[in-house]
Amino acid sequence: MRKLVLKPKGFSKIPIEAEVISPDIIGGKTLPEVKALSVQYGNKVHSLSEFFDVGGRIAKTPDEQDIVVDGDASHVKYIGKGMTTGRIVVQGDAGMHTGSQMKGGSITVTGNIADWTGAEMKGGLLRVLGDAGNLLGAAYRGSSDGMTGGCIVVNGSVGSEVASFMRRGMIVVLGDTGPFTGVHMNGGEIFVFGKVGRRAGAQAKGNGGFIACFGGIDELLPTYRYDTTFTPTFMRLYLRQLAGNLGIDVATSYIDKPMRRYRGDLAVGGNAEILVAEKA
Amino acid sequence: MEHVDVVCPFCGCLCDDLEITVEEGHITGIKNACAVSRSKFLNHGSHRITSAAVDGKKASMKKAVKEAVEILSNARRPLIYGLSSTECGAISKAVEIGEVTGGIVDNTASVCHGPTILALQQVGESKATLGEARNRADMVVFWGSNPTAAHLRHIVRYSVMPKGMYSTEGRKGRKVIVVDVRQTGTTRLADKFVKIKPNSDFELLQALRATVRGDELPVDEVSGVPMKEIKELAEEMKNCKFGIVFFGLGLTQSEGRHMNIDAAVGLVSELNRHTKFVLTPMRGHYNVAGANTVATWQTGYPYAIDFSKGYPRYNPGEFTAVDLLASGEVDAAMIIASDPAATFPADAARHLAKIPTITLEQKTTPTTMLSKVVLPVATAGVEAEGTAYRMDGVPLRLSKLVEPPKGIHSDEKVLDMILEGLKEVAQ
Ligand code: SF4
């Protein structure tokens, strides 16, 4: 991997839209070409180098490209949008729409992340070491296709409407989630190790989708019905994978723990599952 | 001179049966209007801003427009906001200014029925005009809305009292249900008042929908309402001939916001398996529906529209005025027919005072007081013609009854002057 370092030249209240910060776009270019890439700043177009010190090395192909955003990028939107390969690490916070519609490769944000992170994600791995905003992995307004693949892991807590209209893919939250987790969910898997917020699984049709709650749940909707307490075999496999492949050690402590299963959302005739781990 | 069938431009009902007498250029008599409308018509001329101003000092219209053009053409992230209390011609010009400046155009829907729009885009809607409600409805549900305070003639003209083509018995033939967190004027008129716990509309809507589907829910009560009552309500709703839900800010601005409307639409669509049921938002400002409609014609989107890339993009929460002001993102603002300084959260209002703000207004307001440029304008529907959209989406023509004060133009004219100025600068 070749590492390109982008050092933000300070915070700006007007956000910068920089979907060019992507291995797909940077890989194979020359340094002057990268410096001259366009970013949107308010109603004007600027070059990348006006907002970032650009240094390091550029790979011949995107899959060999490693990009480090070294510093606070909370004012930078669309980092890694639609990327298919390579790696991005943001050493600090990142702005809205980071990794939106990404198809492959990986993004790691060491700080916090704003709304719409990983929106309509299709593949790849997105990790956030801090907290995430609202609409993590959600469908954009008016769309009924949310996340269709890939994996998002957030070490901290997340806001409301996580994974709205989720179809496939996986979201793991080690902290708490806000209201309407998995709203309109129609497939996919959500694992929450903190507390799950109010109205989880609202309007969820199911389609094999589930929300696994290991740290309890605020309040279940009246349109979810309890049906059994069991120890799902598939959960053991998932938890092992979470611990082994993603380094989520806490997962191991829930292996073979009984879970209460609720089905809904009955308001839409749904068959989604909310699985709540019994307190030890 | 007598004017008949005048449309009232003071709330989303747009009552179109007013009779107004004008003598020597003044409105002297009004018939059929509600108290709010009467007072607004009679007082529209008092406490008017009579001259344009720049930095708090009187200025000629020409100078103030020039200043506005300069502010907008130098801005990197200008916001154009308001638009719900003016007519469609002005709204159209404002959208064009948004495009020319690469700014953001938002209207007051973002702080009232924005969630309604979000939900309707997500799950669709089943709607009817107020005329249909009047002529056909035998069940009227007011959910989180109180027309006795906000839409005074709604009950008499459209929803509860009137006799219509098929609703020949008037009030007697209609079942009126109010769902709210507290007693209101409307609950006193109702056949049934369903009192719910605050911020629990979503649960009740979902429970009702599941019950209408025929599911037995494994709970004794939902949102403070016993399951028995929910079952009764579901039966009543299924058995009416034509039901309508009028919902208000009690639903759009309580916890759940657009998801509450999503659930309400879901309930209504479920009921349509059994009978005819529709829903209509109780829009407050008289032309907020027009602001959404005109913006949609022109850009494809109803509010929260960003033109920074030269083409329209839409994202409530990202391109909505309150969010943009609170984060300090916008560096100039133009406010048309709205008073955000009085109604927005403190941090958003504070930012408005920090940046150069241009305001088009008839009377002194908190927003004009913090504005760098104030442009006085005529009152649409009283001193200027135009079109407005009623809460149910029906367009109606506003009339010009009297002349505006000397030297004062309509919103549309003033916006056009600014637009021409901007185009000149661009060349
Ligand atoms: S109800 Fe509304 S539209 Fe009708 S007269 Fe009163 S203010 Fe005007």
Q: Alpha-carbon distance B159 to B136, whole Å?
A: 10
| Ligand 1 pocket, mutate which of B5, B6, B8 (most atoms under 8 A from CB) | B8
ipTM of the complex, rounded to two decimals: 0.92
- Using 70 as the pLDDT threshold, list the residues of chain A that sit under it: 280
Bridge partners (DSSP) of residue B179 are B143, B194
CB atoms within 10 A of CB B424: 10
CB atoms within 10 A of CB B323: 18
Which two structure tokens, joined as six digits, stand for A37? 């890439």
Grouping H, G, I as helix, E, B as strand and the rest as coil, residue A104 is: coil
Q: Is residue A10 part of a domain?
A: no
Structure confidence at residue B119 (pLDDT) = 80
A227-236, B107-116, B221-230, B348-357, range with the lowest pLDDT: B107-116
CB atoms within 10 A of CB B311: 10
- Smallest CA–CA distance, residue B139 to chain A, in Å, is 22
Which two structure tokens, joined as six digits, stand for B386? 């135009």
Please choose, from the candidates B105, B108, B147, the residue with its C-alpha nearest in 3D space to the C-alpha of residue B289. B108
| Cβ B378 vs Cβ B407: under 8 Å | no
Q: Is residue A11 part of a domain?
A: no
Would the CA dihedral through B315, B319, B320, B324 be positive or negative? positive
Interface test with A, best of B118, B206, B327 (most A CBs within 10 A): B206
| Cβ A72 vs Cβ A18: under 8 Å | no
Q: Is residue A258 part of a domain?
A: yes
CB atoms within 10 A of CB A35: 16
Q: Is residue A88 part of a domain?
A: no
B103–A contact, CB cutoff 8 A: yes
Q: Which residues contact B232 (CB under 8 A, 6 or more apart)?
A: none
Q: Which helix (H) or strand (E) holds B114?
A: helix B114-123
Q: Alpha-carbon distance B427 to B425, whole Å?
A: 5
Q: Which residues contact B370 (CB under 8 A, 6 or more apart)?
A: B341, B352, B353, B357
Q: Is residue A134 part of a domain?
A: yes
For residue B154, report the distance from its CA to the centre of ligand 1, in Å: 8
Please say if the pLDDT value at position B178 is more than 80. Answer: yes
Please say if the pLDDT value at position B125 is more than 90. Answer: no
Measured from the CA of B10, which atom of ligand 1 is nearest? 7
Please say if the pLDDT value at position B341 is more than 90. Answer: yes
For residue B16, report the distance from its CA to the centre of ligand 1, in Å: 9
Give the neighbor-by-neighbor strand order of the sheet with B26-31.
B2-6, B18-23, B26-31
At CB < 8 Å, which residues of chain A contact B? 13-15, 40-44, 96, 115-116, 134-135, 140-142, 144, 179-180, 183-184, 198-199, 202-203, 221-223, 225-226, 265-269
Quick one: DSSP state of residue A199? T
Which two structure tokens, joined as six digits, stand for A29? 């270019």
Select the CATH number that applies to the domain covering B49-112+286-380+403-426 from these four: 3.40.250.10, 3.40.50.740, 3.40.190.10, 3.90.1580.10.
Answer: 3.40.50.740
Asked if residue B283 has its Cβ within 6 Å of ligand 1, the reply is no
CA angle at residue A223 from A219 to A227, to 5 degrees? Answer: 85
Q: What does the domain layout of chain B look like in residue ranges?
A: 49-112+286-380+403-426, 114-281
For residue B291, report the distance from its CA to the centre of ligand 1, in Å: 19
Which tens digits make up the pLDDT trace of B219-238? 999 999 999 999 999 999 99
Structure confidence at residue A280 (pLDDT) = 61
Structure confidence at residue B44 (pLDDT) = 87
Q: Is residue A216 part of a domain?
A: yes
Architecture of domain B114-281: 3-Layer(aba) Sandwich (3.40)
Which tens digits make up the pLDDT trace of B241-270? 999 999 998 998 889 989 999 999 999 999
Domain count of chain A?
Answer: 1
